[in-house]
Amino acid sequence: MRSKSCVFIIVVVACSTAFNIPCFSSDAPFITPAPKGLTWKNFSVELGSDWKILITNSNGISAIAEYLRDGLSDKTGVFLGTQRSPATRFGRSVMLFLATEKLPDAVKAKGFSFPGKLGKEGYVLEIFDDCILIVAEAPAGIFYGVGTLLQMIDVKDGKTTVPAAKITDFPNVKVRGVHILDPDPDRLKSMIDAMAKLKMNFFIISTWKLFDLDKGDNSQKFQEAFAYARRLFMEPVPELAGFGQGGPILTKEPYAAEGIWVEDELYRFRGNKAEPLLGSKSDLRNLIRTGESNVTITDAAKSRIYKEGIDYEIINGETIYPFPPSVRPAEIARIPSGSIGDMQQVLISYDYAENKCAKWAPWSVPFCPSSELTYKVMFKSLEGVISLLQPRYISIANDEIRGMNRDSRCRKRNMTNAELLSDEISRLDDFVRSASPETRLMMWDDMLNPWHNGGDEKYQVQFGGPPGKTSKATGLIPKDVIMMVWWYDADDWLSKMKNSPDYFESNGFDYIGAAYKDRKNIKDWGELINKKPRCMGLITTAWDGWDKNLDGIKYIAEEAW
């Protein structure tokens, strides 16, 4: 006759505070991330299809029961039915219940103790000869305990067994995750599954498709992915990258590009056509023509402004993102009945768009932070994301802005680079908070960081802009914006990594450390952010694709947990 066995998964509701426990044993290589404390008991427990999952309180626990049921079935072929049952009735069962309810006497008799204060994601897993207990302060802890149990279960010679052990476990940091660039929406579910098994609870999706949720099945796919992630205790974050990578805005509104202001370029009308006398910076290609910025023509003495449609006409050329020099140029023709004479010299001023970015990053054409066309697209996209996906966080990126304050729309505002940057961030933050007061903006830190691009007085000069540190914007933006502090090299030259956490701590910002797939870089970030009060956690960045970053994703899961 088989002896009676039972599995208990118990949620203990308590306050979340820091708690230190001893490490019990050596690492278990098949459990990822490795648990904080592990003691083996040198025997195994056999599980069978005659077991049941019993639920006494379905508040947040039913979905975890389904996750355990499906995970066990997929791995072993053993299917456990789910039933409701009083906490006093159990046997050969997996019981999920909150510890605010009275624990069964059979549990107490085994001498099981829960230390408490492990946080909402911590848990204790203990396997006895006839019973398995998973104890946690909240459903998230139960979920991670179930994840550990599923990793421990093995099938051999037709038997499903789990080795007996006691595990006490909790994460090092609150936020643990991955930044994913342009993922295939059809692969998101498998990526979410992989992250959940690594006990990650956070990921950022950066894709132009978020600007087009009203097209095709984009909204459905992202809504389904976000809902699925939340069932697995993960917080999905949409990234609407704009200022530094204006492509998704500029494909819709090319005149929203941060242009280059050309002032008083000397032309002469030969016959009816304007020709440059000393060469042209743009040859009138990719002109920006809006109510905010347009072509102006004066006489050589700048004493008279000529009028379009009366003195001259403009035959529009092409203005197309990413603004190659091969587009068809505009032409300016003299109207014979107007005030401009044949062979007369004039001064022409205008904005034009040019891809002055690094050759390896042609996509990083910035938008103009002083153009209402920019905010027309950004506000509509933010509104769609908030309405359909209801995120707790939204990233606006704002990293590596290669071109600022060089457009007439910016220059006429007479603002410093830092003031211009802070104004853009504040406008987006104000819009998001008005639409969804609980949603917080996130952004990459480098343009605000004096130890990174923000501290480079001449950073904008190389892209045609004026000198001026943008790090001064740190004191001008809302403190609720979360910084993603990044540096990817294995070597921390110029001490960017070393000094950044304390800089944002001292300025009152919450932040996340962002590493790349290099193991040393990940480990260094983990050490730098350890026990920093305002640091929310640690993520890795999969810039060159999910599949090329699997080792880094697994390694950062270990470091963050």
How confident is the model over 397-442, as pLDDT tens digits? 999 999 999 999 999 999 999 999 999 999 999 999 999 999 999 9
Q: With 90 as the cut, is the pLDDT of residue 49 above it?
A: no
Tell me what pLDDT residue 494 has. 67
Taking alpha carbons only, the member of 558, 549, 483 closest to residue 526 is 558
Q: With 50 as the cut, is the pLDDT of residue 3 above it?
A: no
Q: What is d(CA 464, CA 406) in angstroms, rounded to the nearest whole number?
A: 6
Q: What is the DSSP letter of 245?
A: S
pTM for this prediction = 0.91
For residue 116, give the amino acid letter.
G
Q: What is d(CA 86, CA 178) in angstroms, rounded to the nearest whole number?
A: 41
Q: With 90 as the cut, is the pLDDT of residue 360 above it?
A: no
- Binned at pLDDT 50, 70 and 90, residue 101 comes out as low
- Binned at pLDDT 50, 70 and 90, residue 102 comes out as low
Q: What is the mean pLDDT of residues 296-314?
A: 98
Q: What is the mean pLDDT of residues 39-46?
A: 92
The mean pLDDT value of the chain amounts to 90
Interhelix angle 550-560/519-529, rounded to 10 degrees, is 20
Q: What is the mean pLDDT of residues 235-261?
A: 96
Which are the contacts of 175, defined by CB distance < 8 A and separation ≥ 6? 201, 202, 512, 536, 537, 538, 539, 560
376, burial (CB in 10 Å: exposed 0-12, middle 13-18, buried 19+): middle
Tell me what pLDDT residue 10 has. 42
Tell me what pLDDT residue 358 has. 75
- Binned at pLDDT 50, 70 and 90, residue 2 comes out as very low
Q: With 80 as the cut, is the pLDDT of residue 369 above it?
A: yes
**pLDDT tens track for 313-340:** 999 999 999 999 999 999 999 999 999 9
Q: What is d(CA 124, CA 134) in angstroms, rounded to the nearest whole number?
A: 6
- Length of the chain, please? 561
Boundaries of every domain in the chain: 6-169, 175-252+359-560, 260-352
Domain 6-169 falls in which CATH fold?
Chitobiase; domain 2 (3.30.379)
**pLDDT tens track for 481-490:** 999 999 998 7
Q: With 90 as the cut, is the pLDDT of residue 491 above it?
A: no
470, burial (CB in 10 Å: exposed 0-12, middle 13-18, buried 19+): buried
CATH number of this structure's domain 175-252+359-560: 3.20.20.80
Q: What is the mean pLDDT of residues 107-128?
A: 86
Taking alpha carbons only, the member of 190, 200, 197, 198 closest to residue 228 is 190
Q: What is the DSSP letter of 254?
A: G
Tell me what pLDDT residue 9 has. 44
Taking alpha carbons only, the member of 450, 459, 442 closest to residue 400 is 459
Cβ atoms of 132 and 43 closer than 8 Å: no
Tell me what pLDDT residue 11 has. 40
Q: Which residue has the higher pLDDT, 21 or 124?
A: 124
Cβ atoms of 404 and 460 closer than 8 Å: yes
Q: With 90 as the cut, is the pLDDT of residue 55 above it?
A: no
Locate 74 and state its tokens: 């997929």
Tell me what pLDDT residue 17 has. 33
- Binned at pLDDT 50, 70 and 90, residue 27 comes out as very low
Q: With 90 as the cut, is the pLDDT of residue 264 above it?
A: yes
Tell me what pLDDT residue 58 has. 66
Q: What is the mean pLDDT of residues 499-521?
A: 96
Where residue 195 falls (left for φ over 0; alpha for ψ -120 to 50; beta otherwise) is alpha
